[in-house]
Structure 1
């Protein structure tokens, strides 16, 4: 009996030790143009002041915001390996093209073998393997929140509204972005979508409701090989983007594991962060502060 009690308390002690060593992180992934220093996980220039609360142990997973998604995926994988392996877990927040980068990386590498790291990065943002050489499959990700997600592309890229020589712009063409990877393959990680609707004068290039850069079909995770016009319920001239994970008005589904948590019915939120956690990132930041703990 005494031996059983001793073993029970030993198991409890081991479990407590494992929990004590676990850390949650909030990874913020920028969109086009970048702004933060790549490899510097404390550089929040793209989003706003680093002093603002934005989830537990916030990390700025910076990439250059101009090169191709395939070439920048390695930069994101470095951050995921650093903070989302072993006993550590991550919450992820993305803006604009950051959604395309995260979706691509999960679909292409979410089932790959990763080395567990010590979560201490060098100047290039790379963490050394933890003692013992432990490995795991994929990363420990609780969920992804995506503001103005462009995994479905943007008609502004199709129309040449941005510098057409930039590799990321080529990736942001609607047909290209939608064919880049299997958007339904998130390795069971949920994407919670925030779709802004405060458009501008050139919104005629974007179908349905938009935030001046990204239309609802992309920001809302609407499935398919092409975009489409989706709107708020107050607009009678196109189908509604529905809140939640279910099909949209007209029957077209969202990608698997995609859930619209904010549809901008009041047309309040524009695309850009303004370097001050502004636009559609504002409500996402509030939710990260509340739920990413």
Structure 2
């Protein structure tokens, strides 16, 4: 069973393609968290509030790269798994040789034990091989990102009428020998999201629908790929969900708003499924 097989089962069980980004920015954490690991305490409450609506959790490694943060991330991954929810680590790794092999250990049980990871293809196929070879793990490759500067390089023409992001998509489909490859394609550029879907049948992780204001309908129409009769893909929201309770007077009100935000996004996306 690959990550995307497990994800298909999770999508069916929850009737949801929502990925909840667990990005606990310390400057935005509520004051009522009383814990030596406030990021973990925050994530646990977010998971409790959203797991019924989450197909996946996507922590971004940038918010955990210190000693306490790493402990918080380990606890978060274990707790999400305890709720039956897969975890995709947004790490955007991409390096050569022994360095790549060490990064890929994040997928192993003696590393973090996450189910999938985002990677950067800029340095070529050999840098992704340590991830691709783990057949049961998901490898989600940056293709057309949701940030405005993504066009600086990703939209460059590379020949045969193709832009770089289109070429990346086609190469990734060639690399999908084990059925464990997906693509990051943002909802902030719906025409390009459609262009990538016209080229490949890989599952997409579609960021940008929440705080970045991306196109939810396009995210569903072009972001999901058929996998044995189930539409598989993820539409991510991070800040739009986890900080939905800002301004609330109580802890219950705060995380009640978080849960409602995840539910609303699920319902909004399901209108188009």
Higher helix share: 2
Is the TM-score greater than 0.5? no
TM-score normalised per structure 2: 0.36
Structure number with higher relative contact order (C-alpha < 8 Å, ≥ 6 residues apart): 2
Q: Which structure has the larger Rg over C-alpha atoms?
A: 1
